[in-house]
Structure 1
Amino acid sequence: MRQWSTSFLMPHSAVSTENRALIILNQPFSVALFDRLWNFCKWHCCGDGGANRLYDLFENPEVEDGATARTFFLPELITGDLDSIRDDVKEYYVSRGVRVIQDKDQYSTDLMKCISSLEEKEKSEGRGQYDIILLGGMSGRLDHTIHTLSYLHKLRKSRQRTFAVSDDNVGWVLDEGEHIIRIDHQVLGPTCGLLPVGIDSTVLSTTGLRWNLTNNESSFDGLVSTSNHLLPEEEMVWIKTSKPIWWTAELKKC
């Protein structure tokens, strides 16, 4: 039985010691969400135009002694085909020692290139996998969203935990089998969904939801459990699925 937690979304006062990697994609996000995620990830990477998003997040440059807010949020890596990053953004991060690596492979996306770089880092460290948190990937262009859904569906075979986060939602793939999800009501809810994406159908059973399922078949041609609700009195949701599905939960405003 797999256990899941979104503790990385909780407001904290200390820096996390867990291995988490933040990958910033080229989609809008709030300062509040960014700040919460950045502080709880050990490794930070921008996928091409994601560097523009990070740079533009800090419109108020001056903090103290000539330093800027941007100075405190330097990613370890910017990578992709670099067709989206602006010249001024690239020059800024290069001048501050950030590695900027161009990968012209047109058969892989910027997201795929970021994860490939992380896997090289993991291999060199030899200390196991990082949990991956994608900032973006579920808003904006539909084809980008579909790519995120598809790629994370595939990654379930090789990665232990990969989450996609936007200002509105957090989501990830539940592989076939049983799962326990710890519900942090301070940041999640009330709505949630179990989505049969990338499969013909699955058989679902749940506890801890307002509208639970008991060996119900779910498919795009049939039942899809959208707009389900988390119950305030329940701290856990149990899900059993015969095939991989997407789990999504609404995020409260930071």
Structure 2
Amino acid sequence: MISKRNIKGSETMSAILLVVNGDVKKEHLVMEMSRAGFVIGVDGGTNIIHALGYTPDLIVGDLDSIREDVLEACRKKGVRILRYPAEKDETDLQLAIEEAMKLNPRMITCVGIFGDRPDHTLANLQLMQVPAKAGIHVRCPFDGGILYVIDSKLDLKGSPGDTVSLLPITEMVSGITLTGFKYSLTDGEMVPGIPLGISNVMESERAHIEINSGILLVFHLQKVTSE
């Protein structure tokens, strides 16, 4: 049973959690809520937070998908709400990222960026480069793994046999060095449209990725082992 509590009042803003109204695994969200110093409900993502007995620190969006009873419950608890017009240039997640970055976090975790709308998913992935370019660590847990968005280096912890796919999200990613993988690389380059980094494999429990320029999406698909 998940105890009901409000995250507000945490001592640190170093880790901010954004909950989007996409595919969210309960276990992932519970774990991420326990780690977060500040939680933002991105419109309908607040419904998911509320269903688990939690309350966000901030709600952002045009509020077209949050349930009215959830919105009212958050109002009664004094949650700050930033409501925007339905007709706007920015997506709700874009606005939430902008608010998160104002707090100068060390890390932003986004849960629920993948869903039934491939156009929304692609837009969400493109948005991940915004905080990454500002030097903020970005991670996005999903069912079966974690997406990291990097602008310099990443130490991966996993299991031998884990699949790791690398996709450039900028015009070019250069100076790519991979160690601890089946397919190593030294000072390489990747560009969109040539999926050179798909389906690499970790050879041990640790692997290292380093780049000199650009933004790289790193999909770590964790190997499922049977008992």
Band the TM-score falls in, shorter-chain normalisation: 0.7 to 0.9
Deviations 1:211-246 (A, max 9, x none): 11234443344342111111224x241323543221
**Which stretches of structure 1, 4 residues or longer, exceed 4 Å deviation after superposition?**
15-18, 200-203
Q: Does 1:76 align with 2:75?
A: no
**Please, which of 161, 164, 169 is the counterpart of residue 192 of structure 1?**
164
Q: 2:199 aligns with which of 221, 227, 231?
A: 227
Identity of aligned residues (%): 25
Q: Which runs of 5+ in 2 are unaligned?
A: 1-9
Equivalent in 120, 144, 149 of residue 144 of structure 1: 120
**Is it true that 1:249 corresponds to 2:220 in the alignment?**
yes
Partners in 2 of 1:119 and 1:212 — Cα distance? 34
Q: Are 1:182 and 2:155 matched, yes or no?
A: yes
Alignment match, 2:90: 108
CA distance in 2, matches of 1:185, 1:16: 30
AA at the equivalent of 2:157: D
CA contact (8 A) 2:61 2:84 kept: yes
Q: Is the 8 A contact 2:180 2:208 kept in 1?
A: yes
Residue pair 1:203, 1:218 contacting (<8 A) in 2 also: no
Distance 1:189 1:19, change over 3 A: farther
Query: Is residue 189 of structure 2 the alignment partner of residue 207 of structure 1?
Result: no
Which residue of the partner structure matches residue 87 of structure 1? 68
Change beyond 3 A, Cα 1:223–1:137:
closer
- The alignment partner of 1:28 has SS state of coil
Counterparts in 2 of 1:20 and 1:109: CA distance versus 1, 3 Å: same
Amino acid at match of 2:68: D
- 1:56-108 deviation line (CA, Å, top 9, x unaligned): 4x4xxxxxxxxxxx1xx111111111111121221222233322221226111
Deviation at 1:151, TM superposition (A): 1.3
1:103-127 C-alpha deviation (Å, 9 max, x unpaired): 226111111222232344x2xxxxx
The one-letter amino acid paired with 1:190 is D
CA contact (8 A) 1:16 1:41 kept: no
1:98 aligns with 2:79: yes
Shift of 1:153: 1.8
> CA separation of 1:215/1:117 partners in 2, compared to 1, >3 Å: closer, same or farther?
closer
Aligned match for 2:27, one of 24, 27, 32: 32
SS in structure 1 at match of 2:81: strand
Structure 1 unpaired stretches of 5+ = 1-14, 59-69, 123-127
The 1-side partners of 2:165 and 2:217 are apart by 8
Partner of 2:4: none
Q: Which structure features the higher share of strand residues?
A: 2
| TM-score of the superposed pair, with normalisation by structure 2 | 0.81
Residue 15 of structure 2: which of 17, 20, 23 is its match?
20
Map of 1:6 onto structure 2 = none
Question: Cα RMSD (Å) of the superposition?
Answer: 2.7
Distance 1:93 1:223, change over 3 A: closer
